[in-house]
Amino acid sequence: MKITVSSVLFLLFSSFPLLAQEPRASKILQFEERVFDFGEIEEQDGIVSHEFTFRNTGTEMVYINGMSTGCGCVQYEFPKEPVRSGASGKVKVSYDPAYRPGFFSKEVVVLSNGNTNYNRIWVKGTVIPCRHPVEENYPYDYGSGLWMNFKVMLFGTMDEGDTKMMNLQFANDTDKDMRLFFVVIGGNTDIKFTSPQTLKAGGEGVMPVTYHYSGRFPAITRVYPVINGTPSATPLTVKVETE
């Protein structure tokens, strides 16, 4: 959902029905810049920050009441003391690029004078992603660089004739291509899939696994990954439950 300044302001002010006027764009607080471009930033370098400088061009003190944004990836700091006429101040805006690859443009609303005025500023840039540890997305280590998203594929309760499908996801955490296929132990032909054969170095894959329950096989079946010709010591357990 796209967050706009109008929706942010509506949420902020809908709980203050006694306000005498709708919030208006401030002509008193003048920012030296309204948009700051971080350019290309490396995700692995973490949070980046920029300070926006403003000046009180009015004849009275200005109080900054708060700041607001539509994304938890943005944090901010603002002066708690009133800004005297003619004085300058700064607000700090920080952006967290973690798991946010690509271009971003984030609006921040600066609220002042008892929430009756606002200024809009933006930070933008492009995040260059880094490689994350494979176990963040594939928690189960099957050895030889193979990691998968399941240790047990639980298809739940099934009656004879039922069919269900689940996606087995896997990753090759090595710098060489991996030959990969799966062997079903016990001859359970209710389980259907197409082995990937080759998984590129550092690559990821998805293998749909379909279970068409016939009632002719045990509820628990072990499926062994065969990695570069060697069976894994750890099996994938495929399980159904019957009433």
Q: 110, 128, 146: which is the final residue of a domain?
A: 128
Predicted confidence at residue 21, as pLDDT, reads 56
Pair 138, 208 in one domain: yes
Please say if the pLDDT value at position 12 is more than 60: no
Q: 128, 145, 174: which is the final residue of a domain?
A: 128
20-29, 55-64, 145-154, 227-236: which has the minimum mean pLDDT? Answer: 20-29
Predicted confidence at residue 4, as pLDDT, reads 54
Pair 112, 162 in one domain: no
Predicted confidence at residue 19, as pLDDT, reads 43
Tell me the pTM. 0.61
Bridge partner residues of 51 (DSSP): 92
Q: What does the pLDDT look like over 27-47, one tens digit per residue?
A: 889 999 999 999 999 999 999
Q: 86, 101, 128: which is the final residue of a domain?
A: 128
Pair 119, 146 in one domain: no
Pair 15, 124 in one domain: yes
Pair 183, 165 in one domain: yes
As for how many domains the chain has, the answer is 2
Q: What CATH number did the domain enclosing 47 receive?
A: 2.60.40.10
How confident is residue 120, by pLDDT bands cut at 50, 70 and 90? Answer: very high
Pair 114, 169 in one domain: no
Pair 156, 214 in one domain: yes
Q: Tell me the two tokens of residue 31.
A: 């920012």
Q: What does the pLDDT look like over 174-198, one tens digit per residue?
A: 999 999 999 999 999 999 999 999 9
Residues 41, 128: contact at Cβ < 8 Å?
yes
15-19, 181-185, 211-215: which has the minimum mean pLDDT? Answer: 15-19
Pair 106, 176 in one domain: no
Q: What does the pLDDT look like over 44-69, one tens digit per residue?
A: 999 999 999 999 999 999 999 999 99
Pair 118, 158 in one domain: no
Predicted confidence at residue 142, as pLDDT, reads 98
Pair 12, 111 in one domain: yes
- The residue segments making up the domain with residue 51 are 5-128
How confident is residue 25, by pLDDT bands cut at 50, 70 and 90? Answer: confident
Pair 93, 143 in one domain: no
